[in-house]
Structure 1
Amino acid sequence: MKIATLGPDDVFYRYLTPKWAYVPLSGAGAAAEGGRFNRIGVEALYLARAPQTALEEYRQDSSLVPPAMLASYILSVDGVVDLSGGYDPAHWADGWAEWDCSWRRMLRIDKVTPPSWILADQVISAGHKGILFPSIRHPGGTNLVIFNSNLTADDRLGVHDPDGRLPKDQSSWPN
């Protein structure tokens, strides 16, 4: 397993759903639905190294892009599992070969625990703060999942919003 330090001040991106843009550091959306590297109930913040990768991840399989707001994140985080080069049996345990499993199908159709969730459980319990991994949606792109609960006071993670343009609450949307 490779462990990396991100930063100081690495930049990552995320397209935010406008209704939830007032909480850009929240991993609650991923906790509600689950994600590639987080079980339902586990908060995780998914970011991308480049804006195009963030866009492809946001739109998933849709040919049309739903409304979105691009946000830049500045971070310095120590202790991130670096799978960005993909699985290599010389550096990774066998279980990592299935990091790119079809987790949604496995969860919803096959009714089994996706192997990527088991890997994430191990990463979280070891105290690592996230995983860098290749984008499935944007070949050549790199994603980062941050496990909010493992961040410490020494880590820095913030959204770049110098003019305060992100909404402060949900008052713009009707109930």
Structure 2
Amino acid sequence: MKQHWAGVVYRAHHPRWAFAPDSGEGAARFGGRFNPLGTPALYTALRLQGAWTEAQQGFPFKAQPMTLMAYQVDCADMVDLTDAAILAALGVTGADLACAWEDVADRGQEPPSWALARRLIGEGCAGILAPSFAAGAQPGDVNAIFWRWSPVPPHQVQVVDDAGRLPRDDASWR
């Protein structure tokens, strides 16, 4: 079920965090569809427009400034949740993936997508490919979500910044 995936992915995030584009700490602090509170994750999209759509879903009427990043990926131990056969083998449905995870968590219950993430992380998975559920996502939009990543293989998710344009630390915002 685990497979190797390589390619380029994209992420849009608040410009304030441009010095740490691969931290995953924001996701750990607030949780996400595929990461329970306290679990770091790096959410990316396979298309530039998908990254923008994911980042802007909280601002449907006024697009907010974002830093758009590209990452070179060469990652083992991925699971493709866009594959119906893999979902069936896992005993997972599309509804489990698309669950209203925030509402479920607010009611004190574990969202099915969190239970799946815990299970896959426990089985040594580094990340998943999953459909986008963001408002405005196009059919076929896919996200790559990483739970384990580093700048080098076997779980490479490397920021593309050949010209050294990103700030090195938080001091640039003072």
* Structure-2-length-normalised TM-score: 0.88
Distance 1:48 1:149, change over 3 A: closer
Q: Which amino acid aligns with 1:69?
A: T
* % identical aligned pairs: 35
Shift of 1:57: 0.2
Which structure 2 segments of 5+ residues have no match?
A: none
Q: Aligned Cα RMSD in Å?
A: 2.2
Q: 2: distance between equivalents of 1:76 and 1:103?
A: 29
* Number of residue-to-residue matches in the alignment: 170
Residue of 101, 108, 126 corresponding to 1:111 = 108
Counterparts of 1:26-175 in structure 2 under 5 Å?
26-62=23-59, 63-85=61-83, 90-94=88-92, 97-108=95-106, 110-137=107-134, 138-139=137-138, 140-148=140-148, 154-174=154-174
Distance 1:125 1:152, change over 3 A: farther
Q: Is the CA contact (8 Å cut-off) linking 1:129 and 1:151 kept in structure 2?
A: no
Whether 2:15 is the aligned partner of 1:18: answer yes
Distance 1:96 1:126, change over 3 A: farther
Distance 1:150 1:172, change over 3 A: closer
| 1:47-94 deviations in Å (ceiling 9; x for gaps) | 000000000000014222211111100010011110124687644414
Q: Is the CA contact (8 Å cut-off) linking 1:124 and 1:150 kept in structure 2?
A: no
**Shift >3 Å, 4+ stretches:** 85-92, 94-97, 149-153
> Matched residue of 2:104: which SS?
helix
2:2 match? 3
Which structure 1 segments of 5+ residues have no match?
A: none
Q: 2: distance between equivalents of 1:57 and 1:95?
A: 22
Structure with a larger share of its residues in helix: 2
Q: 2: distance between equivalents of 1:89 and 1:161?
A: 35
